[in-house]
Structure 1
């Protein structure tokens, strides 16, 4: 007879809980085991594979698949010229995308050691201290509508931020904006035109009185207030119809700016941030430089001085045209930079037409070659933006189309100036450029977003004038005049569309009369 310990040692338990071998479990042990099985049901034991088998296979990813496989979201074999997967699937392979050429970053260097002065910008709240609810409503009209019309198709901070901020602290500037808003209301509402115009003139006179008091204080902000006020006065006089008075006011502001801010030989660039005038935003300096160039190109006597009033020094060091422009703002900055380089020669363009053989100015040939190279590079970099804007339409097309016609007209005028009297010998000369200018201008004017009002930026009006006065193909010149006549009351800085169209008609009539006498 074996001992209890020997019995336990000789017994074994199978996986299903039964006793095997020589030993036998007692009834008490069996009852205890059954109670445990009822209170704790058996659970299936999950057997997981090894961790190494659960790791996702890492395969190199490729973005060089064909267009068809990318659309189907399947792995492409990348066979050339057609992938095998498309052939097995029985569809045409659309081929592979061409890799973009690597862009070489332009090497830039600082032009001058300088201190950049930036003034904080903010949108004027509507809680400004207005003397009446009517003034407040006029100001809201100026803020919400007039500023966008004045700024032109290309966005700018000057009208939408800088001037609105200045009106918050200066009553005279705020009253000037109210007078401009009332005058634009008079243009838009013929039935109440007399009432709006009367209010505008009264508000304008009050603003001028307040402006004299603000300027006489002679504090640090007096020059800045004077310059902003000059812009607003220029707008008011143009909208009111006193064009010559507006030009006189503009010349006075430019002379004051030259005298008070010492702009002679001051470094300036449209493609670099070089604000060397403390307390004056770059946007204010930019707009007066642009106005200075506009004054230089006005028609006058051959003996008139064509020099810049500001006499500012345009910097041209390390000038590299981008391969592709990022947006229309960058494209405009580079185009204006090229135009500033041409102004010593381009300012003589009216003289070439008006005085013919009396004009004996001949620019150097190397300058012409350099300008033409820059204009070709600009057109290449601008082409993708123009094509995209033509697809979108609306204000995007107006902005891009306006820049394109400005570039074409600049090219045409530069060629005319450098050719001199020889530029009027062939009737087909400049015809391709003129044809594109007229076609684009017609599309711009027919766009519903085109504003037939005063705009503080040059666009299609001066470009069509260049076509009328420099292209000798009669049909194109007549088309250009028709487009100008369809612009209504469009006014671009000092360029009045109706007046330019009338001048164009008079030019054609004078040429017909001379041909009849001959």
Structure 2
């Protein structure tokens, strides 16, 4: 790329000024009565709704389905009609206090990119379920640390380059790379301090670098960065055994929020299960000892966040066995691993109880449709794939001898996957959560019905370059195509 042909990113060339975000003449927050009549989708995203009907302009611009407006219930004295929320109150602490002033930025362009990250990119990264780590912890930290702020700006610019007209893409991309390089230089000075504050900043920076490299397309560099961060976290964990529970998280690193520890545990497990070479380590880089004392599945989950916590708790218990499945699928006899049989009944019982507690949420979300359905159906897909993979891991050769073993689970997976991908709010970009991609990988590797595997490949193709942490939809689709051709003797 010829850097000289590009205008200066700070706006020295008025004719080439790069517009990221709508300009605001007066950035002083107006004191107006708070409206509670916005559309359902904007309320979930915690953004101001323009209240245009039948669908709001904000949702159309963001590219999601507008789920319409609440109808005021008829007032009846002495009665209260309460509906069970899909998302708990406070699940996504959108930082109302985080209103960065232009004093934090060198120029208006940086400010616009940060607003783009805050209002759109952070929600895209969260996946179907907004999380505190992206919508609060990282945003708050970015207002306090210039290196983190520059990383968020770089991610926003890179994200913009992938969604804007071609003539502007190079400008956004060039700015993103320069901002990224600046942030890395600033981080070197922070890391050299080695105190608790520096460790926290370094870990948050690792998450942002992982996102940037993934969006940029350098997947192996992204994984390498996270491996280094996991090793850093392992050294800083206070206890040798490193006990951890997804249901009762307590970070033992001074000054480090539970949310940061949670996301690194998720990364650790995801990297263990990614498709790689048979010689790659399948051991936890954090060397976590999962706590399972007094574990009891609720009869019904309060909301989708609680449901996800309990599912991840079961997945983490199962991960030492699941981590070897990609190797078994890809390299067969080169991998020798026999899991203990006595754990099978316990895991299947947990998953059966999870299904029972989750069904009311799924039924409610199916009626609602839109983003509620995508979030809930994605969680159901993960539970189904966990069940299939768990049976495969424990039954081994017995599973391959029964072609009808996974038919009920696979049938439901394909039904839900088709519906999820068809939703307008389904994002075909990088998201920091797993869902449909590893689920369809499990279907391709376990289902014996060729027509089902062909459909799974087709759904993955329709996902474009969607990336779920380390799972790339296009790469898994190509893998599925190679396996199908191998069966036909074409390769």
1:481 equivalent to 2:457? Answer yes
The yes-or-no answer on 1:170 pairing with 2:160 is no
- Taking the aligned partners of 1:123 and 1:295, their CA distance within structure 2 comes to 34
TM-score (norm 2): 0.78
Q: Which residue of 2 aligns with 1:154?
A: 129
Q: Deviations over 1:246-299 (max 9, x none)?
A: 011111111111123346421211111423322000000000000000111123
Q: Does 1:437 align with 2:437?
A: no
CA distance in structure 2 between the aligned counterparts of 1:278 and 1:452, rounded to whole angstroms: 37
User: How far apart are residue 334 of structure 1 and its match?
Assistant: 0.1
Q: Residues 309-324 of structure 1: matches in 2 within 5 Å?
A: 309-324=285-300
Q: Deviations over 1:361-396 (max 9, x none)?
A: 222222010000000000000000000000001111
Q: In structure 2, list runs of 5 or more residues that go unmatched.
A: 1-75, 77-94
Q: How many residues align?
A: 398
Partner residue in 2 for 1:84: none
Bigger-Rg structure (1/2): 1
Contact 1:264 1:311 in 2 (8 A): no
Contact 1:264–1:313 (8 Å) recurs in 2: no
Match of 1:65 in 2: none
Deviates more, 1:210-219 or 1:327-336: 210-219
Contact 1:264 1:310 in 2 (8 A): no
Query: What's the CA shift for 1:215?
Result: 1.9
Distance 1:402 1:429, change over 3 A: same
Q: Hey, what does 2:115 align to over in structure 1? A: 140
Aligned position for 1:230? 206
Aligned equivalents of 1:461, 1:386: Cα separation in 2: 20
Query: Could you tell me which residue of structure 2 aligns to residue 201 of structure 1?
Result: 177
| 1:124 Cα deviation after fit | 1.9
1:266 to 235, 242, 260: 242
- Which structure has the higher relative contact order (CA within 8 Å, separation 6+)? 2
Aligned to 1:383: 359
Mapped partners of 1:185, 1:474: distance in 2: 39
Structure 1: state its 5+ residue gaps.
1-72, 74-120
Contact 1:152 1:455 survives alignment (8 Å)? yes
How far the C-alpha of 1:205 sits from its partner, in A, is: 0.4
Which residue of structure 2 lines up, in the alignment, with residue 126 of structure 1?
100
Q: 1:492 to 1:263 in 2, by over 3 A?
A: farther
Mapped partners of 1:320, 1:179: distance in 2: 43
Where 1:295 maps in the other structure, the secondary structure is helix
Contact 1:368 1:418 in 2 (8 A): yes
Are the structure 2 counterparts of residues 263 and 244 from structure 1 closer, same or farther at C-alpha, using a change threshold of 3 Å?
Answer: farther
CA distance in 1, matches of 2:241, 2:249: 17
Q: 1:149 to 1:348 in 2, by over 3 A?
A: same
How far does the alpha carbon of each residue in 1:447-486 deviate from its partner, in whole angstroms, 9 at most, with x for none? 0111111100001000000000111111111111111011
Q: Is the 8 A contact 1:394 1:447 kept in 2?
A: yes
CA distance in 2, matches of 1:219, 1:409: 41
Alpha-carbon distance in 2 for matches of 1:317, 1:420: 29
Task: For residues 54-87 of structure 1, give each alpha carbon's deviation from its aligned partner in whole angstroms, at most 9, with x where no partner exists.
Answer: xxxxxxxxxxxxxxxxxxx9xxxxxxxxxxxxxx
Distance 1:237 1:470, change over 3 A: same
Q: Tell me the distance in 1 between the aligned counterparts of 2:196 and 2:207.
A: 19
- Please say if residues 263 and 312 of structure 1, whose CA atoms lie closer than 8 Å, have aligned partners that are also in contact: no
CA contact (8 A) 1:352 1:417 kept: no
Distance (whole Å) between structure 1 residues aligned to residue 240 and residue 417 of structure 2: 37
Quote the offset at 1:188 in angstroms.
0.4
Could you tell me whether the CA contact under 8 Å between 2:303 and 2:361 is conserved in 1?
yes
Q: 2:265 maps to what in 1?
A: 289
Report the 3-state secondary structure (helix = DSSP H, G, I; strand = E; otherwise coil) of the residue aligned with 2:489.
Answer: helix
Aligned residues: CA RMSD: 1.9
